[in-house]
């Protein structure tokens, strides 16, 4: 199977939860995502047990945030199957939304009201600003500063980012 065939198999709508599965205990990026998912799950449940467990998830989230050096809020809108291979310096605003099966590398900043589609790959050091929309299967190059919308399947690079490949 070629790399291109494999990339097309990854869905922009259906989350691949195996991408977030814990493979071992010391897996900080996945532990951070797990603490966020657990917090959001228990926040929806009523009662004293739900409140107690969600408080434990807050403590876990704080611990893993310090370990990873990432600022991903507990109330963020992240689709399933997110991969953050090196979470150091990743900052995501609580009002940003990220679709399923995305890949985010280190030092990425996503500001308020940004909408990222499914299966988007964001290179190291990229900044996504001004409430833009990134389409499904798009790619954002390393250190790109995205100030305008990126259509489905397109690749954006540079400062400010420009579209070099249209989907």
H helices of the chain, where? 3-9, 28-43, 48-68
Number of helices (H), then strands (E), in the chain: 3, 14
Domains observed in the chain: 13-165 (2.160.10.10)
Q: Angle at the Cα of 35 (from 128 to 28), degrees rounded to 5?
A: 75
Cα gap 6→140, rounded to integer Å: 19
29 vs 166 pLDDT, higher one = 29
Name the pTM for this structure. Answer: 0.89
pLDDT at 48: 86
Residue pLDDT, tens place only, 122-149:
999 999 999 999 999 999 999 999 999 9
């Amino acid at each position: 199977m070629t790399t291109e065939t494999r990339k097309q198999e990854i869905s922009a709508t259906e989350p691949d939860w195996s991408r977030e599965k814990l493979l071992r205990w010391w897996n900080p990026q996945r532990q951070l995502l797990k603490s966020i998912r657990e917090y959001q799950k228990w926040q929806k449940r009523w009662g004293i047990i739900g409140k107690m467990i969600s408080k434990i998830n807050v403590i876990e989230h704080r611990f893993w945030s310090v370990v990873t050096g990432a600022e991903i809020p507990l109330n963020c809108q992240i689709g399933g199957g997110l991969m953050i291979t090196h979470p150091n310096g990743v900052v995501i605003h609580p009002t940003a939304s990220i679709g399923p099966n995305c890949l985010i590398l280190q030092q990425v900043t996503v500001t308020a009201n940004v909408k990222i589609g499914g299966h988007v790959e964001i290179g190291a050091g990229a900044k996504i600003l001004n409430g833009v929309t990134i389409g499904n299967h798009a790619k954002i190059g390393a250190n790109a500063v995205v100030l305008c919308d990126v259509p489905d399947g397109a690749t954006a690079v540079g400062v400010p980012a420009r579209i070099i490949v249209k989907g």
